């Protein structure tokens, strides 16, 4: 019997209890022993719910019980999640979590404590919900030097962009719809402004490149400025607008990382990732292109990933599994020096004026239903060069980067 | 220092040596020790190639050398691959392989020997080339009961169908093109008749469902009968024709498995898998839909997967990692009883006659450029019912199943 404690009986926490109950037999067989939920920590009461029998309100009960082998942190937020995770590891218990904010900020510290205590700290559910991308990077693609990661890592914004595309609706309408469906929170900032995706790309990059990427340093734009007119141009060009979180590592070890809306070509496997689905594209120097796709959020897919961590931790109770997340901080290239192709909508300028600003090799796009403006795909240039040119010419309505 | 022997210096074998040389530092760090290619076994000589220094022609040299920890079998075919793999395991060496024919036939036996000898038998590269799908099923999606696997598992046929679609060419032309590009062998039977995909779905199903699926029992059709006219109908319906290898397990444990061309809807993530790429779609009872995408063949992607096995075996030299492939044979449903939607092209019949044969609820498709025939999507029915109806009405030009 392996005893676990679940911290937080919200969406993911109740999902974890449900997954363990529903797939009890298979999970026990895989883990090598029965998994028993000995405690659920929550400040609330749940009268009538079977969880009431194992409900506790004080973390000390869990930290002080030597029978508890694994602590599942699914409360979210920095505190008290971080303190509880740290105390559990220090007490010699393995910890797993779906909490990307905590992992992005304290992952390196918690991994180090896990290593010292010969237990494990796992966070498969922190990125891409049910997609087993952390395990793929950490334990499967081990023969490769990974040099690029690009993901649709936020289901809420992918759903909103999908609805804006198929319905022609604007940002506000799509947000309202996402909130009604329960995909977006009352305060949607973390999703629509890209902070959620930023934390996830920092976590994935830390593991992919074997260092530590500081999420706070990742240049981030959200989707608030995307309009129905941008969608019309995308359609016209046979591309789709996606909020991508991308990073790459150059041969000298320096990384570039960015969260922003991108135009994605039809040939790119990320093109077809619709609705609330997430996907992570990875490029390895031997493997070439690979992509992992699945439910990026939702109670049961996320809980499935958490329980997969519980199973692996149960198989290795007092044996630390090395994580490729390194201690050395990854150096990030100045976002101004990162190069890209840019799609720009310009009003009141001739093609000659546009080429004079953005250089020879501009490709022009006209959208029949939008008059008085010109769409242009610039030649490859750095952000610094782009912003200088945009300022020089004036009249720029919007800019969206184009994914290579 | 961990010593390995590579059996076969063909495409994959030379790729394995190249991956180990190119990513030497990272691989050593991941494996916990330097990986050294001590022997390469091949009947040929390779004068001028550095491999010549470690080349041997007799397997006894390898089997009898206690310094060899891991044997990489990349010769292909049943013999002597099977005998060599067995002897290596019996000598207490871990084995990994890209040889799907051997794994599909002897996987259960070799896994059992590995378990007895407390070593490992791994075969990530046998399915989907560089896609880490075996590891995902075996070690990542462990909290789920997997009830469906559907894959584009053969790069050659996916390339051919892709070319037929975009160029309007026929089977013969597409095959010739694939052969010229080196994607298809002189004898293309294993690819175009579906035998390669059949072996792979049997391997994946064995691990997904925790039993043993006999590849020989999987009903299989290839792509020889697909015509440019079929492609026109697919285009008309907004679908694409893919050679899919599909299986599912019913709650009573009985499985259905099938390799055949399918029409795939645009909403299905497999729709966008083009060229020589492979993809594996998996459905779990908690996870929902997930898909893994990547290079299904090719020297380096396949070698990358082989070397990932080498690394995991190096990390667990004398510690057997359980594999979900079970000993109990999976019972397969009679292919005649498997149900599906069928797209059928019928000539010389009225809609009334077609509905009389296939039942109410037929959906008719007309393809402007093809006269004298009618396209019809039947209601859901078993294969037995379909064949009975097709025989009754006569005039059937072609039939392609539609993926749910």
pLDDT digits (tens, 9 = 90+) for A218-229: 999 999 999 999
Mean pLDDT taken over chain B: 96
ipTM field: 0.94
A132 vs B141, B273, B298: nearest CB: B141
Closest-CA residue to B75 (of B50, B49, B43)? B43
A352–chain B nearest CA distance, Å = 36
Residue of chain B with shortest Cα separation from A24: B143
Q: How confident is the model at residue B296 (pLDDT cuts 50, 70, 90)?
A: confident
Catalytic residue selected from A38, A93, A117, A200 = A200
Interface test with A, best of B140, B285, B314 (most A CBs within 10 A): B140
Report yes or no: B271 at the A interface, CB cutoff 8 Å. yes
Bridge partners, residue A347, by sequence: A373
Candidates B161, B339, B159, B294; CA nearest to B240 is: B161
In the predicted structure, residue B176 carries a pLDDT above the cut 90: yes
pLDDT band at B186 (very low <50, low <70, confident <90, very high): confident
pLDDT score for A296: 84
pLDDT tens per residue, range A22-54: 999 999 999 999 999 999 999 999 999 999 999
Residues 6 or more apart in contact with residue B79 via CB below 8 angstroms: none
What percentage of chain A carries pLDDT values higher than 70? 100
> Where are any strands of DSSP class E within B348-402?
363-365, 373-377, 381-382, 396-402
Interface residue of B14, B35, B124, B143 to substitute, partner A, most A CBs within 10 Å: B143
Q: What is the DSSP string of A21-61?
A: HHTHHHHHHHHTS-EEEEEEE-SS--TTSGGGGGEES-HHH
Specify whether the CB–CB gap between A22 and A74 falls below 8 A.
no
Is the CB of B143 less than 8 angstroms away from the CB of A271? no
Q: Do A285 and B141 touch (CB under 8 A)?
A: no
Helix boundaries (H) for B64-136: 81-90, 100-117, 133-135
- Quick: pLDDT tens for A270-327: 999 999 999 999 999 999 999 999 998 889 999 999 999 999 999 999 999 999 999 8
Structure tokens given for B221 = 């059709």
Nearest CA in chain B to A268: B272
Q: What angle do helix axes B11-22 and B299-315 make, rounded to 10 degrees?
A: 60
Q: Which residue of A has its CA nearest to B299?
A: A286
CA distances from B2 to A149, B38, B94, B315, B373 (A): 31, 9, 12, 10, 65
A289: nearest CB among B132, B284, B294 = B294
pLDDT at B298: 87
Tokens representing B36 are 């050294």
Residues of chain A found within 8 Å of residue B19, distances taken between Cβ atoms: 143, 286
For A282, nearest residue in chain B (alpha carbons): B294
What pTM was estimated for this model as a whole? Answer: 0.96
**Chain A interface includes B294 (CB < 8 A):** yes
pLDDT at position A336 is 97
Given an 8 Å threshold on Cβ–Cβ distance, is B27 in contact with A143? Answer: yes
Q: Does the structure show a pLDDT above 90 at A184?
A: no
What integer pLDDT is reported at residue B253 of this predicted model?
96
**For residue A335, what pLDDT is reported?**
96
Could you tell me if B376 and B346 are in contact, meaning their C-beta atoms sit under 8 angstroms apart?
Answer: yes
Residue B176 appears among annotated catalytic residues: no
Mean pLDDT, range A253-277, rounded to an integer = 94
Interface of B with A in 48-77 (CB under 8 A): none
CA angle B66, B72, B77 (to 5 degrees): 125
Q: Encode pLDDT of B192-248 as tens digits.
A: 999 999 999 999 999 999 999 999 999 999 999 999 999 999 999 999 999 999 999
């Amino acid at each position: 019997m392996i005893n676990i404690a679940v911290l937080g009986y919200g969406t993911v926490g109740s999902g974890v209890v449900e997954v363990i109950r529903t797939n009890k037999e298979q999970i026990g067989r895989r883990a090598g022993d029965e998994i028993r939920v000995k405690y659920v920590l929550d400040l609330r009461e749940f009268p009538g719910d079977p969880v009431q029998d194992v409900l506790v309100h004080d973390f000390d009960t869990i930290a002080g019980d030597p029978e508890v082998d694994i602590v599942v942190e699914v409360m979210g937020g920095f505190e008290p999640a971080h303190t509880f995770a740290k105390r559990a590891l220090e007490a010699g218990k393995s910890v797993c979590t779906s909490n990307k904010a905590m992992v992005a900020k304290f992952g390196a510290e918690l991994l180090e404590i896990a290593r010292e205590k010969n237990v494990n700290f796992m966070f498969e559910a922190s990125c891409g919900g049910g997609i087993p991308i952390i395990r793929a990077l950490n334990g499967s693609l081990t023969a490769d030097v990974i040099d690029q990661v690009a993901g649709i890592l936020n289901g809420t914004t992918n759903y909103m962009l999908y609805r804006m595309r198929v319905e022609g609706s604007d940002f506000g309408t799509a947000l309202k719809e996402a909130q009604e469906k329960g995909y977006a929170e009352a305060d949607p900032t973390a999703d629509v402004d890209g902070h959620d995706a930023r934390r996830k790309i920092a976590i994935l990059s830390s593991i992919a490149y074997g260092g530590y990427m500081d999420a706070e340093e990742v240049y981030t734009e959200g989707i608030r400025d995307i309009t129905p007119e941008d969608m019309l141009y995308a359609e016209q060009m046979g591309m789709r607008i996606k909020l991508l979180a991308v990073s790459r590592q150059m041969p000298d070890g320096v990384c570039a990382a960015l969260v922003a809306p991108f135009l994605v070509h039809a040939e790119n496997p990320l093109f077809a990732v619709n609705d609330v689905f997430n996907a992570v594209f990875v490029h390895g120097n031997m493997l070439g292109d690979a992509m992992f796709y699945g439910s990026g959020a939702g109670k049961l897919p996320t809980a499935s990933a958490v329980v997969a961590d519980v199973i692996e931790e149960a198989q290795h109770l007092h044996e630390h599994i090395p994580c490729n997340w390194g201690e050395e901080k990854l150096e990030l290239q100045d976002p101004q020096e990162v190069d890209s192709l840019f799609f720009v909508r310009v009003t009141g300028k001739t093609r000659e004026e546009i080429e004079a600003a953005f250089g020879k090799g501009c490709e022009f796009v006209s959208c029949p239903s939008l008059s008085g403006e010109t769409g242009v795909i610039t030649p490859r240039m750095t952000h610094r060069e782009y912003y200088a040119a945009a300022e020089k010419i004036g009249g720029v309505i919007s800019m969206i980067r184009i994914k290579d």
